[in-house]
Structure formats: structure tokens, C-alpha cells
Amino acid sequence: MPIKWYKDDRQADGYVKVDIDTRTLSFFFKEHDPVLAAELTQYEQSFGEVADVFVPPPLSTEQEQAVGFDVIMKYIVAEKQKELQWNSSKQYHIDDVVYHSFKMWKATSNNSNNEPDDVPGDWEVVS
């Protein structure tokens, strides 16, 4: 998904829009920017309420934007790793992807409770 939205943890009713394709951040308040507020509402209707994120100090220059973008992208990656964490109680299907032992794994067969490190026939490392 090329656009991610987060609540700005520094300010009440503050939000940040992360455009992954263009590597840009947009900071705004709902009541001051009705266009972005409408986009945010549409996003929340599709994906649920947005999460809080640590937002670096105000970013005005291009260099500050790049640094802020990298900070937020690290957060997004960590969030995705938690979401994809292998779980012994979950049923996995062919091509499901999990994060386990600092690696990404893809299921090569349907399985459950088969840890990727222990049952290599059911998993292959993808990164």
C-alpha cells in the first residue's frame, strides 16, 4: 500500500500521511485541512482507525523530510514484522509469509505448528 496514515503522537488531532512511493510526509490537523481529513476518513473506513506513531520534530527542509521519512519507515517495517510474526497456533497455507528468527519465510506446504527453522520442508527463506 503506497499511502499509510498515523496519528501524530506529539499533538492532539494531529496526523501524518506517509506516501511511500514519493517518500514524502504530510502533517496536518483535521479541522484545518478538509481535503486530507476526507482522505483520512476514507482510509479509516476501509482499514480501521489509524495507529499512533512517533513523529520526528517538524520537518521543513528536504533533508529533514528524508530523515523523518526513514524514521517512520523503520516504524512501519517493525509494525509489519510484528504482524507477520510466526505463531505456533496458526494454520499456514502455501505462499503465506511469516517473520521468524530475523528472516522472512514463505510456506511451501500447508502446515501448523511447524517452526520454519525446524521443518525446512514446509518453509523457504525469502529474505
Number of domains within the chain: 2
Shared-domain flag, residues 97 and 65:
no
Domain carrying residue 27: 3-83
pLDDT computed for residue 107 by the predictor? 93
Residue that finishes a domain, picked among 50, 67, 83: 83
pTM value is 0.47
The number of beta carbons lying within 10 Å of the beta carbon of residue 30 is 14
pLDDT tens by residue, 17-57: 877 777 777 777 778 888 888 888 888 887 777 766 655 55
